[in-house]
Structure formats: C-alpha cells, structure tokens
Structure 1
Amino acid sequence: MPPGSRQAVHVESGFGYGAIGADIHVFGDGTPLYLLELWRVPRTPEPNWLLESPSRMLNARYEVADFTGREEDLAQLHQWRDSRPRLAARWLYGPGGQGKTRLAAEFAARSADQGWTVITATHGPGTVHPPPGSQDLRLRHARGVLLIVDYADRWPLTHLTWLFSNALLHRPGMPTRILLLARTGDTWPAVRATLANHEASTSTHQLAPLSSDGSEQRAEMYDAARSSFATFYGIADPSDIPPPAPLDHEDFGLTLAVHMAALVAVDARATGSRLPSDMAGLTIYLLDREHLHWARLHGDGTHELNPAERTYRTSPQVMNQVVFAAALTGAVPAPTGAATLRDLGLAHDAPQLLADHGVCYPPANPTIPTVLEPLYPDRLAEDFLALTLPGHTADYPAAPWAPATAETVLTAETVQTAEAAHTARTWDPTGNVPTVGEAAPRPTSPAPSPP
C-alpha cells in the first residue's frame, strides 16, 4: 500500500477484517484461517468483578499476579530474540499450568518496550469472528517483529504453513522471531520441517517444573502471588498467611498450582473458610466458589417482589451443564453456541442460557462477539470436566448427564475444529479420574492448499 494511503473496511453483512502490512489467508467462504493483531497491554478488570469468582484472578490474560520465578527462562528468550539469524522460530512447551502464557506475555511486554513490534496470531476457523476494521501491521521504525502463536500444537499443520508464508515474516533485513506455545513437543518435528522451507533457525525451549531443591523459587512465587491477590481483598499485610500445604510437594511444580495455593489461602482468610490441605482440595475449593457464584446470581425468585423483572434466570444446576459444555467447545459464534444447546436439549431457552453464561464468563476479547467462553485457566476447566464425570472418588458431585453431554458435544457437527474440542487432557487429582478425549478437527470449509 503506498505511503499515505488509507484502508477502509466496509461490511454489508457478516464480518470484515483487514490487515495493512501483512497477508490475509482465508477459506473459500471468506473465513480467515487466523487473525493477526497487535499485542496490547492487558486491561485490568474491576476488583469487585474478580472477587465474584476468585478463579478469574488465575487467568493469565489479566496478569493479576506479579511475574516472578521464571527469570532464567525469560533471559533465555531474550538471548534467542537477540541472536543473529534474521528469521528464527522457537517451540516453547510445557504442561498446562506451567506458566507458558504468562511468560510469553512478560516477554511480549519487555520486547515491545525495547522497540519490537509484537503481534499475536489466533487460529480462527469455526471458533471466532474477526473484530471489525483493520490491523495496521506496518513495521515503522521497528527493531524487529515478534509473532506469538498460542496453542500452536492445536493448529492444523497446513494452517501453520500458511502462517509461516505470510509476507509480514519475510521483510528483507528485518529481524523476525516466531514464538510458538504448546503443551508437548510431539508435533514439533513436522512444524520444524515446514520452517526449513523458509531457511528459519529453529529451537525448542521446554519449561521445566518449578525447582524444589531449596532454591526458594516456589516460595518467592507464592509470596509474590499472595501479595498480589491480597490487594484485591483489602488485606494490607498477608505475610502471616501460610501455604495450605508444603510447597516442596511434587504437586506444586506447576506455576498455576502455586498461584492456586496463594489464592485459596488468601480467599479462605478473607472469608473465614476452612483451608484445604492438598491439590485436589484447592481445585474443589475454587470450583465450589464457581457454584456459589451461579447460585447467588440466580437467587430465589419465589421471595422477590417482582420476579418478572429478573434478567438472570438460569438455575445453578443448568448452568453447571452449560459450563461443562463450554469447557469442551471453547468460545464459538452465537449460532454455533445455540446449536450446541439445541443438541443438548436446551434449545427452548438458548438465548437466555447464552446470555446468562456470558454474565459469568464474558468473551475474552470484547470486540469478538462469541459465546460459551470456557472456564479459565485451562487446567481448572480440565479438572472441572474430570470431576463432573462419574468414576472418581473425590469429594465432588459427579453429574449423571456428563458422559452423554461430553459425547454429544464432541461428536456434534457444530464442533468444527480442534479448538472447539477445547480440552486436550486432564490432570488426575485422585488417581481415579477419567480423561476427556479430543475431537478430530473438522474445518468449516476446505482449507486452501499450503503454499
């Protein structure tokens, strides 16, 4: 586009999306394979909204807990970014809850402060619609471009191949880095072979468990998270709030586990609740708070002066099933969400159910009108799925409808992509918790052949 030109995106119906300074790859029906957006500083939610459902503070996109404990990993990323190759890609992987997203966000923020243009790539078909307007991705005076791809192991290889061919990544003389986040290294060899076609330097970075060898890494992370959470509860000095269990236990090798321990400890102190003593108890404590939130929103209409004026109408029992379904589908367009509820026999109240679910779990990106936003963090959603399914011995009520709901959602025609099968695997808190499988990807329309 010539200097001084202006791009206008005009939409008669459906959606519109434009990108200046980058390619757009779409299906035959115009749905983008992926969305490119400039990285933005995350917004800070209202404290009262966070306190309604404490697990919201664990969502990495809100960055409630101060970054700490991964300085060595961060230094390695900086060293990789500043290395000599013009084009380099790194596969950053570790189990859910290990801190990949938060580490990448900190790396993105520091890179942006140091003059890099930071862009995120979100896999698009079947799950999201583009935000209106366009993204100006021209690299004015940029020191380099850093592209961050979350859930990279869930992308079909052909879609990653198209992404890697984007002109944005191939500007002569422009240092370019691609950071791909994944849970395992299983799909990396095929991705690496694709990157070889672009003569890209490639490397992996496995995010190791937090050290338990006396390095104080876990204790420092707990203290930092405890102080961050205590601020929202109005606790001026939380230093006398101990961990609910010894942090050197193997369960606390995950960043999320340490943050959960800090959050539950602070919440229990603020509410006068009994503090659980193990990892399964921490999970159940937070899920109980979800149920309490649904119950408070629903209230008791029989004791209201004007029940007809209520806006939130979904009972906690029904919301439990909707949240379960959302943990499997992930965020989807409204018609897909309504179809999912119809498949579950809930079609008679679908608009009300989707609206009420959106009160509890609003879209991650307000500019993208999706429904059925899942419970976060992912690991907590996976625990919720496993504990809701029958077959475990944990002190949490299994739901008799859960197996049929899971089968319906994962085999329905409305589940169209790997992202729609939101949950890949489940942490086992009891040794006897079933895992939930992942549906095979089904794109909305045939993808273009890779370049």
Structure 2
Amino acid sequence: MSGPPGEGSRWFPGRRDASADAATMRAGGRMLPGQQVAHSFVDGPVVQVAHAEGGVRVDIGAPKYRVNAQLPAPARLTVREARAQPAKLLHARHQLVSFTGRATELRALRAWRDDDAVMSVLLLHGAGGQGKTRLAVQFAEQSRAGGWQVLQARHASDPPPVTAASATQQNAPTSNVLYLADYAERWPVDDLLEFLHEAARRDGGRARVLLVARPAGVWWQALANRLDRMDVATTSLALRSLIEDQATSSEELYCQARDHFAQAMGVSGAQDVPLPTAILSDHPGIRPVLAVHMAALAAVDRCCRGETDEASMSAPGAVSAYLLSRERDHWRTLCANGAIKTSDSVLARAVFTAALTGAVSHQEGVAALSAIEACAADLSGQVLHEHALLFPPDADRESAVLEPLYPDPLAEDFVALSTPGHHLAHPPDPWADDAIRRLLVPGADQESVYPWTRPALTTLIAASARWPHLVARHLAPLLGQHPELMLHAGGSALTALTEVPELSPGVLENVVARLPDHRHAEFDAGIAAITSKLISPRLRATDDPAERARLHSSLATRQAYAGMYQQAVSAAEVAVEIGRRLVGQDPEAHEPDLAASLSNLGNRLAQVGRYDEALECAKEAVWIRQRLVSRAPDAQAPGLAQALSNLGVRLAEVGRHTEALATEEVAIDIRRRLAAADPVRFEADYATSSSNLGNHLGHVGRRDEALACEEEAVAIRRRLAAENPAAHEPDLARSLSNLGVRLAHVARRDEALACEEEAVAIRRRLAAENPAAHEPDLARSLSNLGVRLAHVARRDEALAREEEAVAIRRRLAAENPAAHEPDLARSLSNLRAWQGS
C-alpha cells in the first residue's frame, strides 16, 4: 500500500439561497419571522429546512425526515377497545403505566443537558423493552418545564412518534433546544448526519440531541467518531433493567402495571391474582420492563376471562404467545361479525409481512403481499385496507400501509411464533416457513432487491437474537444462499449480525466472502467488526503458524480501512512476530509472507506517525524481496515493486527525497512491464507508482516531468474509478490533489484550482462515510484548495478552506501529535499569512 494514509469527516457552513426560500414557499411552508432555509453540504446535495407552522419540514430530494415542534398527546383507549386488543395498551404512545424510577439515569441526562457545550449528542441505548422511549419522553417533559424547547426528529421510515403528556402546553421557542430521535440505529447514516448537522448549525443557545437505540456497538462508535470531528461532544448512557433500579422492586413494578391495566380494562379483583413467581425471579427474559408489563397485562386479561393457570405463563415467550393469540381472537371476531371480510389467517399473514417490511407505500404493500403470497392477488387491496383499520398509520403518513405491531419486540415475537420451529403452545403457520425467504429474495423476473430489504433484515436479525429457531431455519440458510443481501442492509446490520448468539462463524464467513475486499467507505466499519468477530474462530481452526500470521495481517488491513489505526498496528505486529519465527525455521518457505507482513506493518506504523520504525520495516521488506527476486524473477517481481514503492514513500516521509525518487524509478520500471503484459491486474499499481514518482520528482524540482507522471496517473484512475468507484475514488482524489500541485508549479492556476475542487468534493463524500479513514486526506485537500484559491486572488475563500483544514488537523494532532502536528503547523502558517494579508 503506497501513498499517504487517509481518513476524515467534516461539516461545513451553509449558505443562504433565495431560490430555496421560493421553493419552500411554493411547497406551502410559511416561514416564521427571522427564520431561514438552511443548507447542509457545500459540495453535496442541497438540503432544504423550512421552519413552518406545526414543525420543520426537511427535504433532501424526497423528504427523508421531519422535525416536529410538538409531540403528539398520549392516546387513550376505551374499556371496550382495551378488552378487544389488550396488546395495544403496551404501546408507548398510550403511556398507561405511570413513569417510575430511573432517578440515576435522569440525573445523568440532566447533567448532560446542562453542560456548557454548545452542541452535544447522547445515545440512550439498551435492550428492547427496557423503557428507553418512556425515559426519553419523561426527560423531554422535565426539559420543557425547565425552559427548553423540545423537538422530535423522525425518519420517514420510523414507527409512530413518542408522546408527551403536556404536548398541548408546548412552550414558545427558546434559545435552548432538545431534539429527540428514536430508532437512531435504523436511520441511514447519511440522513442521520444530515439531521445532526442541521441541529448543530442553529444560531444561538445550546442544542442537545438525544438519540435512542437498542445497540451501541460499531455503528455508534463510527458515528461518534464523525461527530467528534465536527467538534460535537458525544456520550452514551446504557439503560439498565428497571428491576435493577434500587428504587423499584420487581414486585412493585409488576403491581403498578397490573393496577393501571386493570383500570384501563375495567377489571376488578386483579389485585387478588397471585403474583407470578417468574416475575420475581432473575430470569433474563423477564428482566426488561416491557416483559414485566406484558406479564401484568396478560394476568389482568386472564383474570377478566376467568383463567387462573399461572404455570402456562412461565415458559419464555409464553406471555407474548398469549397476547398475540388474544389479538388474533379479535380479528376472528370482527370477521365473524361481518365488520371485516378478511379472515384472521390472512390478516395474520399481513401482520407478519408488516412486522418485517414496516410501513410502506400502497404500491409497495401490494408488491410485498404478492411476494410473500399472503393472499390472492385480487384481494390485496381489501387486505391492506382492513389491516389499516386495525393498525392505522400515523397522521404524518396517512397514505402508508402495513403499519406493524408495536412495541417492536412484540412484532418480532409475532414473526417468531408464526414460524414453525418453536416449542410453545402457539400454532405456527406452515406458510411462514418459506415466507421470509420469499419476502427477501426476489424471483428471477423481479428487481435485484426489494425496497423493504433493509427493515426486513433488521427485524429478522433482532428477532433471531432471541429466538434460536429463526437462526437455524431462516437467518442462517438465507445468508448461506444469499449473503449478498447484507450489502443492501446497511452498515449497522453487519455489526448486528455479529451479535446474534446462535449464528455460526461459517455464516459470517459466507457474508464476508461477498463483501468488498478493497476499501469501501460504507462498509469498512462493519467489515472490520465481522473480521474481528471471526479472528478467534479462524485462529482456533488452524494450527498453521503461517496462516495465523496471514489472519492477523488481514485483520490489520481491515482495521486500517476502518480507521482503527492503533488496533491495526497491534495486529500487524503479531503477524511480523510470527513471520520472524517461521523464517528462522525455514527461510525459503516463509520469507515472502514475512516481507508482505513487514510492508503492512510499515504502512500501519506510518499511519500513527511512527515514521522511523515504518522506514526500517520497509527497508527490511525490500531487502527480502530483492533476494527472492534473484531466485524467481517473474513470480517475485510484483512483490518487489510493491516493497520498493512503499520504501519510496517512507523515505519521502523522513525528507530523503532523492533516495525516494531513485527507489520509485526502479519500482515503476517493473510495474510498467507488468501493466503492459496484464493491465487488468497491474494497471492500478502502475498508476500508484506514477503518482508517487510525480511527487518525488516535484520535491527535487523536476516539475515538467512530475506533471506528466501525475497526468498519466489521473487518466488511469479516472477509468478505474468509473468502473469501481468504491475501490478507486480515494486514489483518484489523491492523484487529483497531487495534479493540482503540479499544475500550480507550472503556473496553470485555473486548472490547478479545478483539480483540487474535484478532489475536495470526492473526499467530502468519503469523509462522510468513514471519517477515521479519510479525514487527513480531506484536510490535505482543503489546505491545498486554500492555496489554489489564494493564487487566483480569492483570499476570503482561501481563508475559509484553510480554517476548515486547521480545525480538522487540530483534532487529529490532539489524538496523535507525531502523525499530524507537521501538517497542522503548515496549515497554521498558511492561515497566519492570509489573515495578515
């Protein structure tokens, strides 16, 4: 791997655009006095945010999320409705059971909110059913009472919003704003970052964003990394089981819920029902607050129906099975009474479909029912209509269909219990045994992927974490036959996959085999998570030290792609250590692998600023390769060229440019011959050497030759990036930036500016996907762009770009001074020069 390391993420100031204001007015949003339309990326898609009555409309092409000024008031069910569908009482929007406990968490949230930071993001995370949404709403109410404006952000694909008891008493806007965003892990990363960027750009006061999600994990680590590079403070709060709260015993929690449910359902005598012993145990399936509430609701409903057998409710999943059976009883009654025409068996299939797809458009709903063969084609409209009567969509999306069951764990349990393979007294539907596959795997005459693939896989993975039969009968076979589906599930789904207990390493291996083996901004973090998960079983599966070294070297590469540079150094060091031992035993057999491991370690060391050590590794790799090529010239020539090119970069990093040039000239001669014989395999390597050679020639003053080399590299990399952007755009951006420098040196300033603007645009996109892997490159291009702008007398713009570069490099230097302080010094020097001019 040649060339300087890269990483990055940065958000940039917006701009006022009168045409956007006009578009907003045409769309019907009335602007409030003093408010503006905001835009996010300077070089990316324009995002329009119109503050209008009733909320904030955000348009990114098609609307992707909405920020509401008011939280809807809690809904209320009549006694008749509650008795007919008791499971509806569990929905967070009803807030039936009084909020209790959580004193420790509320103190932590208040401390976070009241900090002096201008902008801060907190992730509230915990297992499904722990009461995250209720805690978020309670905190929102306390914040509103304390003078904060409370807004709720909802993605277009989100379930209905949370509720607030005093929604009708929304305070007038204040300078401090608290945003709530539930289901944060399900937001596409770009959309979530767009929303956070808009929250950060508001004028005056403090902004707090409370994200609510089940997992923390890699998706949050990657997001927090990006936000840190936006100068946005981040923290997280893991939500314990409420039963672990010393102020609330399991018995108290159960009794409180039982009494509220009894009142809502008009049931007397429920307090005389014996407490279920399972609730008072430490059974892990009972500990979440939702599980306690579900058990209390089932007990009240069974009391109402005269059922008293406690033993039937003791098995894990039995409470869900009971409540879902009661739900189905209601559908059956409606059909028998003529209120609906659809049978309960067909409605169950629609509910099953909805649990996986989530709310979709009518057209997509028809397609989903067809794909899953839930009903006859001519009945799909009727089924969707009557399903909507039972599960009406939220007011924000009245045209949507297939609103799923809530809360989410109940919908996941419905999928699991409908599917054969569990051992509860809840009859599954044999139809469901193939339904998941049909919903996720299009037929030969269909599109390559269904639009609901992402939510369906998300739900299936979440349900599989609690229901082993879903893993064995569905998730594992599905990914065994169609691992490419994970490419459409989003980066966070890759991480979630590693957290399914029963999923075998073989399934993960099958998924990894379909993931990009090169750098890929969207998937690098997820691939690193899976590679880290697999390293232990892979090591256990082999006694071959050489294979173990290769595994550590591969892990180091994947970690480096994800920006996990320190971890990558550790893994690469293990590979070299093993390689040295093997070479001591059999040099001829193992020197090629040691040379590769040394080159890898050298690259990793350079990425953390340990340049002298990196140079020694590169020297040793070349020394080994030279001996190997003398014995097998054709076989070893590519390895020697790679080692020489790396050595040239390492020499340049310590200022030995003449030696670097001589080294790269040898490398490019080899690669020119290789690329002529096999361009598909070696053209990219030749472009790397051509770009490196241009850099070295420029440092020794041979500017015309340097320009020719970089022009050749850009031409090759444009072709390669057109065929495979994810693999080759980072290198294209690097060559464009270098070409800008070369053009400036020969006074072709307008062309130089155009090259650097293109490089910045590419690196902004890469930085938005993976800041840890691309931010230094972004800062480098920003600084270069500042120089190019200054050369054409656009000093104000030059100053703004260098200020961005300085902000990034300050953060990088704080984390790793050795790697980034020299670049920071150069940017500061430019900044001082332009500020004084």
Give the TM-score taking structure 2 as reference length: 0.46
Alignment partner, residue 70 of structure 1: 102
Q: Structure 2 CA distance, aligned partners of 1:69 and 1:330?
A: 32
Alignment partner, residue 257 of structure 1: 291
Alignment partner, residue 322 of structure 1: 350
Report the CA distance between 1:419 and its aligned residue.
3.5
Report the CA distance between 1:25 and its aligned residue.
5.2
Equivalent of 1:338 in 366, 391, 394: 366
Alignment partner, residue 321 of structure 2: 284
1:351 pairs with 2:381: yes
Instruction: Specify the code of the residue in structure 1 equivalent to 2:90.
Output: L
Alignment partner, residue 89 of structure 2: 57
Q: Structure 2 CA distance, aligned partners of 1:405 and 1:285?
A: 23
> Could you give the per-residue CA deviations for residues 213-252 of structure 1, whole angstroms, max 9, x where no partner exists?
9764322221221121111122356433333234233232
**Does the CA-based 8 Å contact 1:393-1:430 persist in structure 2?**
no
User: Match of 2:211, SS?
Assistant: strand
Q: Structure 2 CA distance, aligned partners of 1:144 and 1:214?
A: 33
Q: Structure 1 CA distance, aligned partners of 2:400 and 2:233?
A: 37
Measured on the aligned residues, the alpha-carbon RMSD in Å equals: 3.3
1:207 pairs with 2:239: yes
1:9 pairs with 2:27: yes
Comparing 340-349 with 376-385, which one deviates more in the overlay? 340-349
If each structure's helix is expressed as a fraction of its own residues, which one has the higher value? 2
Q: Structure 2 CA distance, aligned partners of 1:313 and 1:18?
A: 44
Report the CA distance between 1:403 and its aligned residue.
2.9
Alignment partner, residue 454 of structure 2: 418
Comparing 312-321 with 238-247, which one deviates more in the overlay? 238-247
Report the CA distance between 1:56 and its aligned residue.
0.4
| Equivalences for residues 296-315 of structure 1 within 5 A | 296-299=333-336, 310=338, 312-315=340-343
Cα gap change, 1:41 to 1:224, in 2 (>3 Å):
farther
User: Match of 1:188, SS?
Assistant: helix
**Does the CA-based 8 Å contact 2:101-2:245 persist in structure 1?**
no
Structure 2: gaps spanning 5 or more residues = 1-15, 30-47, 161-169, 443-448, 476-484, 491-763, 770-837
Q: Structure 2 CA distance, aligned partners of 1:62 and 1:190?
A: 34
**Does the CA-based 8 Å contact 2:58-2:66 persist in structure 1?**
no
Give the TM-score taking structure 1 as reference length: 0.83
Equivalent of 2:65 in 34, 37, 44: 34
Instruction: Specify the code of the residue in structure 2 equivalent to 1:272.
Output: G
Alignment partner, residue 413 of structure 2: 383
Instruction: Specify the code of the residue in structure 1 equivalent to 2:63.
Output: P
Alignment partner, residue 91 of structure 1: 123
* Identity among equivalent pairs (%): 33
> Could you give the per-residue CA deviations for residues 49-107 of structure 1, whole angstroms, max 9, x where no partner exists?
23221110111122111111323222221221112211111111111111111111211
Cα gap change, 1:431 to 1:394, in 2 (>3 Å):
farther
**Does the CA-based 8 Å contact 2:418-2:427 persist in structure 1?**
yes
Q: Structure 2 CA distance, aligned partners of 1:34 and 1:417?
A: 19
Equivalent of 2:187 in 155, 175, 178: 155
User: Match of 2:128, SS?
Assistant: coil
Q: Which has the larger radius of gyration?
A: 2
Alignment partner, residue 395 of structure 1: 425
Cα gap change, 1:441 to 1:118, in 2 (>3 Å):
farther
User: Match of 1:252, SS?
Assistant: coil
Equivalent of 1:165 in 188, 197, 211: 197
Report the CA distance between 1:373 and its aligned residue.
0.8
Q: Structure 2 CA distance, aligned partners of 1:256 and 1:83?
A: 32
Alignment partner, residue 817 of structure 2: none
Cα gap change, 1:337 to 1:432, in 2 (>3 Å):
closer
**Does the CA-based 8 Å contact 1:241-1:269 persist in structure 2?**
yes
Alignment partner, residue 248 of structure 1: 281
Q: Structure 1 CA distance, aligned partners of 2:105 and 2:246?
A: 18
Structure 1: gaps spanning 5 or more residues = 12-16, 129-137, 301-309
> Could you give the per-residue CA deviations for residues 177-220 of structure 1, whole angstroms, max 9, x where no partner exists?
11111111111111101212321111110011234597643222
**Does the CA-based 8 Å contact 1:69-1:220 persist in structure 2?**
no
Q: Structure 1 CA distance, aligned partners of 2:420 and 2:471?
A: 8
Q: Structure 2 CA distance, aligned partners of 1:10 and 1:82?
A: 36
Cα gap change, 1:46 to 1:18, in 2 (>3 Å):
farther
Instruction: Specify the code of the residue in structure 1 equivalent to 2:27.
Output: V
Instruction: Specify the code of the residue in structure 2 equivalent to 1:415.
Output: P
User: Match of 1:318, SS?
Assistant: helix
1:189 pairs with 2:218: no
Instruction: Specify the code of the residue in structure 2 equivalent to 1:354.
Output: L
Comparing 310-319 with 18-27, which one deviates more in the overlay? 18-27
Report the CA distance between 1:344 and its aligned residue.
2.8
User: Match of 1:32, SS?
Assistant: strand
> Which of 1 and 2 has higher RCO (CA within 8 Å, sep 6+)?
1
Q: Structure 1 CA distance, aligned partners of 2:159 and 2:409?
A: 20
Q: Structure 1 CA distance, aligned partners of 2:97 and 2:56?
A: 36
Q: Structure 1 CA distance, aligned partners of 2:121 and 2:158?
A: 27
**Does the CA-based 8 Å contact 2:123-2:210 persist in structure 1?**
yes
Q: Structure 1 CA distance, aligned partners of 2:263 and 2:339?
A: 31
Cα gap change, 1:176 to 1:79, in 2 (>3 Å):
same
Q: Structure 1 CA distance, aligned partners of 2:128 and 2:307?
A: 28
Cα gap change, 1:195 to 1:368, in 2 (>3 Å):
farther
Cα gap change, 1:229 to 1:140, in 2 (>3 Å):
closer
1:46 pairs with 2:46: no
Q: Structure 1 CA distance, aligned partners of 2:356 and 2:88?
A: 19
Report the CA distance between 1:44 and its aligned residue.
2.0
Report the CA distance between 1:334 and its aligned residue.
1.4
Alignment partner, residue 305 of structure 1: none
User: Match of 2:100, SS?
Assistant: coil
Alignment partner, residue 512 of structure 2: none
Cα gap change, 1:339 to 1:211, in 2 (>3 Å):
same
Q: Structure 1 CA distance, aligned partners of 2:441 and 2:429?
A: 20
Alignment partner, residue 124 of structure 1: 156
Cα gap change, 1:61 to 1:420, in 2 (>3 Å):
farther
Cα gap change, 1:439 to 1:288, in 2 (>3 Å):
farther
| Equivalences for residues 133-152 of structure 1 within 5 A | 141-152=173-184
Cα gap change, 1:42 to 1:235, in 2 (>3 Å):
same
Alignment partner, residue 174 of structure 1: 205
Q: Structure 1 CA distance, aligned partners of 2:292 and 2:224?
A: 33
Cα gap change, 1:367 to 1:384, in 2 (>3 Å):
closer
Alignment partner, residue 113 of structure 1: 145
